[in-house]
Amino acid sequence: MSNIAKQINILVEVQGVDMEILQADRKIGMLGDRMVSLDREAAEHEKLVTAAKKALDDLKKAYRELESESKVNSEMIVKSNEKLRGVKTNKEYQSILKEIEEIRKKISGIEDRMLDQLECIESAGQAEKEKEAQLAGFTQSCREKKETLAIRQERERQVLDGLNGKKMQISTKADLNMIAILDDVKKKVRGLAVVPVHGAICMGCHMNIPAQLYNELQRLDELRFCPHCHRIIYWKEKDNE
């Protein structure tokens, strides 16, 4: 095998490992993204619980306000009853009775509202409990999922370490100039940088390469590039031929 053929083989090997490294990197990133989105989902659940708690607290607070309003009015009735004992005229007596009646009506209205409020508190309490239960369930499944993801990510990191080691090993056999050229081409093209030419067709861009270049390519005496896509090309017989 000519030296250039050997070097091209090495470049193809390096490229293959690079592709695997890229895939492993992507997998690690994807697994990380899934963990982040689980965290985000958990935060959403927590927000719902916080909102439900706040709603419940607000209702309880409103209930306590009604309670104290009712208490104030009850005290007013006590005072009016005391006044009643000291009145001199019937007119005054009637007026205080009317006053007491008004306050009673007011208290009754407040008590109706308090009853409504109690129902609201009950259903808000129920809703809050449901949200808490959902959060607890999610937290549990989230923890399990994240553990699985972390294990998979760790495994993928080990794969990546192995691939980096493999690449280093292959690279020690490579001509440094060749690696530099490969890196240069990699920056300019998408996907593969070293591609075979099958029957005068570049497998990178699927265009025909000139006959003369195709002939030269088969000499395997120097590195050649596709005139169309500028990838490194090498001659390879079709597998079936």
DSSP single-letter state for residue 208 = B
Listed in sequence order, the residues at least 6 apart from 76 whose beta carbon sits closer than 8 Å to its beta carbon are: 103
CB of 172 vs Zn ion, minimal distance in Å: 29
C-alpha gyration radius of the chain: 41
| Identity of the residue, 196 or 204, whose beta carbon is nearer to Zn ion in the bound complex | 204
> Does position 232 bind Zn ion by CB under 5 A?
no
CB of 153 vs Zn ion, minimal distance in Å: 37
| Identity of the residue, 103 or 195, whose beta carbon is nearer to Zn ion in the bound complex | 195
CB of 43 vs Zn ion, minimal distance in Å: 49
CB of 209 vs Zn ion, minimal distance in Å: 7
| Identity of the residue, 107 or 194, whose beta carbon is nearer to Zn ion in the bound complex | 194
Whole-number Cα distances in Å, 38 to 34, 44, 62, 135, 148:
6, 10, 36, 12, 12
Is residue 195 within 8 A of residue 27, CB to CB? The reply is no
Give CA–CA dist 79/228, Å, rounded.
102
Site for Zn ion in 191-230 (CB under 5 A): 202, 204-205, 226, 228-229
Residues that bind Zn ion (CB under 5 A): 202, 204-205, 226, 228-229
